[in-house]
Each structure stands twice: as C-alpha cells, then as structure tokens.
Amino acid sequence: MAASHQDLRTKLMAISEEFRKLVDQHHSYDEQLQRLAGKTFLNDQEKIDEVKLKKLKLRLKDEMERIVQQYKRGQTTLAS
C-alpha cells in the first residue's frame, strides 16, 4: 500500500534534518507573509518583501517536493 504524500512528509520530518529545516523555514516565511497580509496598507519596501518571501517560500516548497520524490524513488527501488 502506497503511503500518502502527507505520510511521507511526516516520516521525512522524523528522519531528515534537512527536510525539517526546510519545513521550519517555510513556516517562518508563511508567518511573515501572514503578518504582511494582516496590514491594511503595505509600503513599497513591504511590497518588495512580500514578493521576495513568496518566491523564497515557493523555492522551499519545490525543494521539499524534490526530497519527497527522491524518497519515493528510493522506497520504490528498495521494494523491487
């Protein structure tokens, strides 16, 4: 039975320090974006920061997905 994507993420959180660091940083960026989203008005610097944070957050998400896919391939190879 194949593990769900969330199950794999949970397992990687337990076994991979790199993955945990990426998740922690992703959450940090998300919290910063939420603070910005809570403001009525963003000044120019905050708008720039918002764009940067979104790009950084997306880059981390892509990296986490790469690790999940590598783990899946490793599991498939081991199961064969």
Query: pLDDT tens for residues 37-78?
Result: 999 999 999 999 999 999 999 999 999 999 999 998 886 443
Angle at 23 between CA 3 and CA 31, to 5 degrees: 130
Specify the pLDDT at position 54.
98
* More confident call, 3 vs 7: 7
Please report the pLDDT score of residue 1 as a whole number: 41
How far apart CA 20 and CA 7 sit, in angstroms, is 14
pLDDT of residue 3: 64
